[in-house]
Amino acid sequence: MRTTYMRQCQRCKQLFCRDCMTPDVATGDPTAMLCLHCARRIVSPRTVSQYGGLESHLKFRASFTDQVKLKFARIDGLIGANLPMAAYRDPTWWSNTSTSVHAKAWLDAGWEVQEVNFKEGWVTFKKVRSLPRAPRKKKLEITQPFTPVPVRPLRSKVPSKTKVSKLYARIKNLERQRTQSGQPVRGLKPKSSYQYQRRLYGGNEKPR
């Protein structure tokens, strides 16, 4: 009997079989086993910008509005972190320069900062350009009429007359053999004397 041993991944703490495990690709320690999913994340991690959430939100709002007013607390929730202290004090932090990482996020989305209010804690973005939309997939055009696949008709389950006649002749031959020999023939159940009595004299009467 073959037994499969399960091991725990040192990163995600889930159980996997031996074929789905590999030594730690970062340290090379054979005792520290990682699953293939965690090893792939270490070898080729996904590079996501810190302000990618703000960029995605502005791209979404660009489809139905040209101006967006966001509070600083709302931006903190979009980026998943707190804005630096310069964002609350320095107006140059909100300048539309592509050299800064945070400004590149809203510039790549097609927006620019129009107004900043440090007292109330909000910023206004204005859409300056529309991003090109991804080409839609072409629908399949049907040029010829639909022709269904030919289906074979179902065979009739009614037996043919030849088979019925052969079966009937076989039954007659078996009955003839039974009457001539007086012995039960294989395939036919012999009738008992009690069945003849009930047929001749009834169920309650007995012959004398």
Domain boundary among 127, 154, 175: 127
Burial 90-105 (b: 16+ CB within 10 A, else e): eeebbeeeeeeebbbb
Domain boundary among 107, 127, 147: 127
- pLDDT tens, 59-93? 999 888 999 999 999 999 998 889 999 999 999 99
Distance of alpha carbon 104 from alpha carbon 98, whole angstroms: 5
Please check whether residues 71 and 106 belong to one and the same domain. Answer: yes
Range of the domain at 20: 6-43
- Average pLDDT score over the chain: 80
| pLDDT the model gives residue 203 | 54
Please check whether residues 32 and 93 belong to one and the same domain. Answer: no
Q: Tell whether the model's pLDDT for residue 169 goes beyond 80.
A: yes
Average pLDDT of the segment spanning 97-107: 90
Q: How many domains does the chain have?
A: 2
Read off the pLDDT band of 1 (50, 70, 90).
very low
